[in-house]
């Protein structure tokens, strides 16, 4: 149990219950079974396996209850869960059906497809939260956007702007990311079906048809070709997540600065208490946004590293993705939720810093610069 785990005492601060369920072991197994059932269906449609077999496999997948201990033990040996899982699944089927399970597929097909099915679900959660956040920003902007606030450049008071000027600077990248998420939802979540060496469907037309039907059944996109060792689809998603948390980290950093006692551009309701200084109100949510942004920025390089997946399947680079990507999804979910909460807590009704705008050169029209 780590700090992100829902049951950890840090679980509500740094975790994300909703995302965590989607990246859980159970959800992964469930999505792999969905893949196996749909594969059988698609293959029966294209006459690669008998319809009866597909129906039996589908039923078995529905009713299947994995022996988790055995699964874990065998996965430690195989390095992937699929061989053990398929073996368990087969043992629920009559012998003449067993040979129609997982036909032509390889472990990576099941695991990468499960990942994409769940990333697509995660994207829905992100989209909903981003919409919330943008609504919040619009409300704050409508309520308080006209108020003056001191612009700060290079950590120095510069000249007075409106609060809206700053808020729009937070908004605009988020709107762009919202659009990009839409594109991802349309074309970014890909089926994996390449077989043992990534050639399934690349020359055989019937195989290609199976892949196409399978993609439809799973509501995933059919990629031009298998992407076993062409990992840009996951890297692009990781880039999106880290860019989002970076933008929210900027928002958090801005709030930390605005909420300093000596500035008080924003007052944070429900801020954290201190064990030694009860009068203090700590800007916890701003800090969390910064920490999560730094965390994803740290992790994203590992995903780029994993692009160097050698040959037709890289055990090491694929395993590296497993270590990094789920962490990024939870951090991103937590960052979005925290940003929504932060805006709800933020009282921007009385931006005070503009009051202290010094007289002198600052408000003069800038002519010529130097």
Query: Which of the residues 161 through 190 are near its own copies (CB under 8 A)?
Result: 161, 165-166, 168-169, 172-173, 176-177
DSSP state letters, 36-55: HHHHHHHHHHTTSS-HHHHH
Among 55, 87, 134, 222, binds its own copies (CB under 8 A): 87
User: Does the footprint of its own copies cover residue 335 (CB under 8 A)?
Assistant: no
205 is a site residue for its own copies (CB under 8 A):
no
Does position 96 interact with its own copies (CB under 8 A)? The reply is no
Q: What angle do CA 70, 71, 77 make, to 5 degrees?
A: 95
**Candidate ranges 125-133, 185-193, 212-220, 283-291; the one touching its own copies (CB under 8 A):** 283-291
64 binds its own copies (CB under 8 A): no
Cβ-count burial of 259 within 10 angstroms (0-12 exposed, 13-18 middle, 19+ buried)? buried
Strand, coil or helix: 153 = strand
- Candidate list 159, 178, 267, 344; residue touching its own copies; CB under 8 A: 159
Q: Which two tokens stand for residue 32?
A: 């792999």
DSSP notation for 91-117: TTS-HHHHTTTTTT--HHHHHHHHHHH
Among 45, 92, 217, 320, binds its own copies (CB under 8 A): 320
From the list 198, 254, 256, 250, the residue with the least C-alpha distance to 227 is 198
Which residue shows structure tokens 């709030």?
Answer: 255
Which window, 129-137, 138-146, 210-218, 249-257, contacts its own copies (CB under 8 A)?
249-257
Question: Is residue 315 a contact residue for its own copies (CB under 8 A)?
Answer: yes
Which of 71, 92, 134, 222 binds its own copies (CB under 8 A)? It is 71
Instruction: List the structure tokens of 40.
Output: 């059988």
100 binds its own copies (CB under 8 A): yes
Q: Which is nearer to its own copies, 63 or 203 (CB)?
A: 203
Q: Is 280 in the site for its own copies (CB under 8 A)?
A: yes
Q: Binding-site residue total for its own copies (CB under 8 A)?
A: 161
Q: Which two tokens stand for residue 5?
A: 């785990």
């Amino acid at each position: 149990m780590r700090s992100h785990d829902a049951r950890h005492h840090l679980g509500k601060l740094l975790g994300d219950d909703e995302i965590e369920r989607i990246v859980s072991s159970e959800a992964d197994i469930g999505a792999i079974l969905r893949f196996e059932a749909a594969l059988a269906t698609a293959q029966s449609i294209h006459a690669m396996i008998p319809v009866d077999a597909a129906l039996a496999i589908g039923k078995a997948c529905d009713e299947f209850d994995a022996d988790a201990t055995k699964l874990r033990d065998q996965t430690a040996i195989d390095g992937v869960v699929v061989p053990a899982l398929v073996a368990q699944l087969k043992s629920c089927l009559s012998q003449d059906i067993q040979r129609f399970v997982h036909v032509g597929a390889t472990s990576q097909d099941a695991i990468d497809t499960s990942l994409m099915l769940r990333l697509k679900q995660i994207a829905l959660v992100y989209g909903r939260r981003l919409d919330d956040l943008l609504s919040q920003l619009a409300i704050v902007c409508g309520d308080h956007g006209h108020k003056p606030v001191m612009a700060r450049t290079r950590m120095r008071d510069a000249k007075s702007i409106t609060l809206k000027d700053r808020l729009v600077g937070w908004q605009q990248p988020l709107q762009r990311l919202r659009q990009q998420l839409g594109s991802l939802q349309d074309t970014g979540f890909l089926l994996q079906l390449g077989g043992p060496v990534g050639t399934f469907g690349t020359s055989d037309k019937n195989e290609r048809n199976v892949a196409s039907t399978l993609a439809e059944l799973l509501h995933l996109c059919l990629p031009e070709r298998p992407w076993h060792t062409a990992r840009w689809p996951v890297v692009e998603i990781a880039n999106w997540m880290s860019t989002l948390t970076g933008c929210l980290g900027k928002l958090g950093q801005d709030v930390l600065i605005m909420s300093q006692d000596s500035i008080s551009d924003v007052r944070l309701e429900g801020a954290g208490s201190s064990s030694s200084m009860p009068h203090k109100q700590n800007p916890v949510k701003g800090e969390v946004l910064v920490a999560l942004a730094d965390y994803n920025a740290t992790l994203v390089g590992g995903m780029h590293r994993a692009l160097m997946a050698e040959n037709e399947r890289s055990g090491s680079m694929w395993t590296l993705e497993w270590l990094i990507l789920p962490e990024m999804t939870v951090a991103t979910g937590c960052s979005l939720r925290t940003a929504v909460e932060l805006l709800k807590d933020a009282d921007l009704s009385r931006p005070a810093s503009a009051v202290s705008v010094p007289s002198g050169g600052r408000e003069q029209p800038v002519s010529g610069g130097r």
